[in-house]
Chains A and B, each alone.
Chain A
């Protein structure tokens, strides 16, 4: 994989009042790229949902470690990685279907629809979960 043109990183506490901070940051990053207004809004919502899904998994856990947001900026695409160290698995968020009116499931549905590529990875050694989302700039 080639090196991204620029990287923007942000770490937020896994608390509801900070998800808005992540959304503001991603709005700034995406606005600098050649995305349309609607695409910028899609990215903002998807990143907000990814952070919110971490909060859902933090509930009931003894510790609430920070959420790391990493934006890899390329001329033709933006990749956003949302990583956490919460014990519960992140993959279920994306595997959930739109079957039931549950907001956790809706969050996963939104992420998948709004972004062009979405994957969830677990790094057992590091104890991290990452939701990786890519949005391509229209040619």
Chain B
């Protein structure tokens, strides 16, 4: 299983990065590159949709934390969409629910970013 990274821009200055597959030590550099590219293009409000993520490890978490840090340095933000109990649990047990804004759907996230 691999990782597919697809980005849409539903609104000006908001990028939604949808992930499908596994985010691990092999695939997470691709997610990192995508986030870095978006920030370099001036897209500082990033939403990462993990709805179709089947596996997420500490390397993936590290990339998301790094992305959040870089986005905030540019007065932006990095939010997550997560509706899988399995993936949500990984954020909970690592204490990361305290640093990320986690939403249930894209609509909910876009509303919050208004």
Check B93 for interface membership: any CB of A closer than 8 A. Answer: yes
Contact at B94–A98, with CB atoms within 8 Å? yes
Kindly provide the distance from the CB of B100 to the nearest chain A CB, expressed in whole angstroms. Answer: 11
- A49→B90 CA distance, assembly (Å): 13
Known: A52-B58, A103-B59, A106-B61. A98 touches B26 (CB 8 A): no
Q: In the complex, which residues of chain A have a beta carbon less than 8 angstroms from the beta carbon of B95?
A: 98
Interface residues on B, range: 20 to 34
Kindly provide the distance from the CB of B33 to the nearest chain A CB, expressed in whole angstroms. Answer: 15
Check B107 for interface membership: any CB of A closer than 8 A. Answer: no
Q: In the complex, which residues of chain A have a beta carbon less than 8 angstroms from the beta carbon of B24?
A: 16, 19-20, 23, 48, 52
Check B42 for interface membership: any CB of A closer than 8 A. Answer: no
Check B22 for interface membership: any CB of A closer than 8 A. Answer: yes
Q: In the complex, which residues of chain B have a beta carbon less than 8 angstroms from the beta carbon of A49?
A: 57-58
- A23→B25 CA distance, assembly (Å): 12
Q: In the complex, which residues of chain B have a beta carbon less than 8 angstroms from the beta carbon of A20?
A: 1, 22, 24, 26
Give the dominant DSSP class at A's interface: helix
Contact at B57–A48, with CB atoms within 8 Å? yes
Partner of B99, one of A38, A101, A102: A101
Contact at B25–A106, with CB atoms within 8 Å? no
Contact at B26–A41, with CB atoms within 8 Å? no
Partner of A101, one of B25, B65, B90: B65
A-contact 0/1 string along B5-25, CB 8 Å cutoff: 000000000000000001011
Question: A residues within 8 Å of B by Cβ?
Answer: 16-17, 19-20, 23, 38, 41, 44-45, 48-49, 52, 55, 98, 101-104, 106-107, 109-110, 113-114
19 CB-based A-B contacts, threshold 8 Å: A23-B55, A38-B86, A41-B86, A45-B55, A45-B57, A52-B24, A52-B25, A52-B59, A98-B95, A101-B62, A104-B58, A106-B58, A107-B57, A107-B59, A109-B93, A109-B94, A110-B57, A110-B93, A110-B94
